[in-house]
Amino acid sequence: MTATTDGSTGAALPSSVAAASDTDTDIPVAAGAPDIAADAMRRATEFLLSRQDDQGWWKGDLETNVTMDAEDLLLRQFLGILEEETTRAAALFIRGEQREDGTWATFYGGPGDLSATIEAYVALRLAGDRPDAPHMARAAAWVRDRGGVAASRVFTRIWLALFGWWKWEDLPELPPELIWFPSWVPLNIYDFGCWARQTIVPLTIVSAQRPVRPAPFPLDELHTDPARPNPPGRMAPAISWDGAFQRLDKGLHALRRAVPRRLRRAAMNTAARWIIERQENDGCWGGIQPPAVYSVIALHLLGYDLNHPVMRAGLRSLDRFAVWREDGARMIEACQSPVWDTCLATIALADAGLPADHPRLVRAADWMLGEQVVRPGDWSVRRPGLAPGGWAFEFHNDNYPDIDDTAEVVLALRRVKHHDPERVDNAIGRGVRWNLGMQSRNGAWGAFDVDNTSPFPNRLPFCDFGEVIDPPSADVTAHVVEMLAVEGLAHDPRTRRGIRWLLAEQEPDGSWFGRWGVNYLYGTGSVVPALVAAGLPGSHPAVRRAVSWLESVQNEDGGWGEDLRSYRDSREWSGKGASTPSQTGWALMALLAAGEKESAAVERGITWLAATQHEDGSWDEPYFTGTGFPWDFSINYHLYRQVFPLTALGRYVNGEPFAKPPAARPAEAPGVQPGADTAAAGAPGTGAPQQPAEAKGG
């Protein structure tokens, strides 16, 4: 791992501040919590400012797991462009992530993962590591003990099939004719979440083509029985959903031989046009690495040579996901998070007391304004009458702005005193209208799409890894509700529907599930500030239950932490884990919003943050506290450890930023009609007028 700690997060601290002298900080023993917080806040502010790019943005490394690095090498091997320096650097990183038992995990401190271990092993074989080397032999033995390649997930076996290490006929069928399904037909591509959609469309071409490149070596050592590497799987009962979809897959395999060649070619060409139309200006697809990898393979199989402009741009974009370490290792990011990191950093610095007109904040606001998406994307399939106006997560991703980023960018922009307030108001107005128009039928919000809740995609045998749909979540809904409240729309019927949904989603213990962060701490840390901002008093029963839960799961050292295992076993792991700076920040943000500033729990949490802070104002956080897919794909956002502690410290010292809304701000966001329902914001079939698209940057 890249963290400099051994995984511990500091010695346990009692509530007395005297224990702070046991840490490597310069906090005076006699200081009280407010003084300690102010000093820690000052140092954290200086550190975060030092990490801002000259253009105004922040971006921390986005660390996931070694499958990104392994698949990058496999792609280059498949295309015939694997070269020595890249291979050596990737192998150095992959070896460094191997655990003592020979396995690779998908998050820090997690258990060994079969598919990740297989892919890492194959990548090291490509790099020249011998199968009889001790570290390789341990990995292979563990893989065989867990069922071998046959027990791995579908995506791993697809990569192996590209080189003949697995049979294509033993993989689920994914016909390219899916591209022609209209949006009202079950299992059309828009029934999938945008990340899955961008991956599945190119994979329909790969599945239809079934390419095989000569394998550079055998992989017999990864099979439980090399003479019978592809054992038949078990069929579920026909009357079950799983059984029905297994039989559907068998039917698709049989149909493959009957589909006219011209029809299949036409479907693949349609899919190729769909892919090319969604390539971003920087050559990537959706700003994330997996769709880019599969899109490059699919287009290559259709005859696009590596010098074609689309392919050249795509390959160049993949190089931008590489993070080169000082030791010469090369880590691949699954995506990059500059918009998300920048809005969170802006919020943290403003809440920490940086003047609203500070040049650094104004520069950040200018950059965010220039990133607003003002053209339709895939979301407009379900909302054709809605004007664009959201923000995406990445540098280049105009096809898939997301509701969460849009809400947080608006909250960030409202904290900045910009020299062109009209430009800011216009941008915010577009963002608010777009978010309101993306409200789902149940009153809540998903991340990228409206009502993306079909039960069928998750049933496909192909979809055995991670989330493939995008239903509303408590954390995204909370951020939207908080944003609407700040914009003077707390009493709008659409906001109230979101609040009712959040209240209904509260867990019996008082917490909320966190879809995009780990886990109940993230959900609760998002929802409580939103409810209070929307007008619920700290005495509200839902808020009091949340406070009681947070106090009950505080660690003895004063911090908070939650392990990713809570996604698998909430009873055992909810709110439990080693203390981390980001999760402690989330808990404190909720408690402070609930009016608990003077509580012992808050004092102990503030003390823990100050005691674990480094001299330069930073924190260490080896643990993964971000979520891509609950349990299956976890993220360590390297900037989380800075922005969330600083936000909590700032609110402790300075109070809630919008406790009293500025009198100069209008009661309603520009262009938003109070009391209008979701349909009036541009839902299909309402006849709502299309708002004029404006130049990017407003």
HSE, CB side, 13 Å, CA atoms: give it for residue 195: 20
Q: Provide the 10 A C-beta neighbour count for residue 60.
A: 21
How many helices and strands (H and E) does the chain possess? 23, 5
Task: Identify which of 549, 558, 604 has the alpha carbon closest to the alpha carbon of residue 580.
Answer: 558
Residue 92: how many CB atoms within 10 A of its CB? 16
- Which of these, 553, 557, 530, 552, lies nearest to 543 by C-alpha position? 530
Give 669's DSSP letter. -
Query: Which structure tokens are listed for 698?
Result: 């407003």
Catalytic residue flag (residue 404) = yes
Question: What are φ and ψ of residue 46, in 5° steps?
Answer: -60, -40
How many CB atoms lie under 10 A from the CB of residue 98?
Answer: 21
Name residue, tokens 């949006």.
183
Name the catalytic one among 69, 378, 404, 449: 404
Q: What is the 3-state secondary structure (H, E, C) of 300-339?
A: HHCCCCCCCHHHHHHHHHHHCCEEECCCCCEEECCECCHH
Place of tokens 């390649």: 149
Distance, in Å, from the CA atom of 205 to the CA atom of 296, rounded to the nearest integer, reads 11
Whole-number Å distance between alpha carbons of 370 and 339: 11
Locus of tokens 């908070």: 560
C-alpha–C-alpha distance, residues 38 and 627, integer Å: 31
Question: How many angstroms separate the CA atoms of 143 and 117, rounded?
Answer: 7
Measure CA 332 to chain center.
Answer: 15
Q: Is residue 601 within 8 Å of 627, Cβ to Cβ?
A: no
Strand order, beta sheet including 626-629:
62-63, 633-637, 626-629
**136 Cβ contact list (under 8 Å, min separation 6):** 121, 124, 125, 129, 130
Look at residue 606 and give its three-state secondary structure.
Answer: helix
Q: Could you tell me the maximum CA-CA distance found in the chain, to the nearest angstrom?
A: 81
DSSP string, 30-51: T--HHHHHHHHHHHHHHHHHHT
Q: Nearest 5 degrees, angle CA 562-CA 566-CA 569?
A: 150
* Tokens 């969604």 -> residue: 278
Tokens of 516: 């995009």
Which amino acid does the sequence have at 26?
D
Six-digit token pair at 215?
């394998």
User: CA 153, CA 146: separation in Å to the nearest integer?
Assistant: 13
Nearest-CA neighbor of 395 among 327, 457, 338, 472? 338
Other beta carbons less than 10 A from residue 34's beta carbon = 13
Give the catalytic positions in this structure.
404
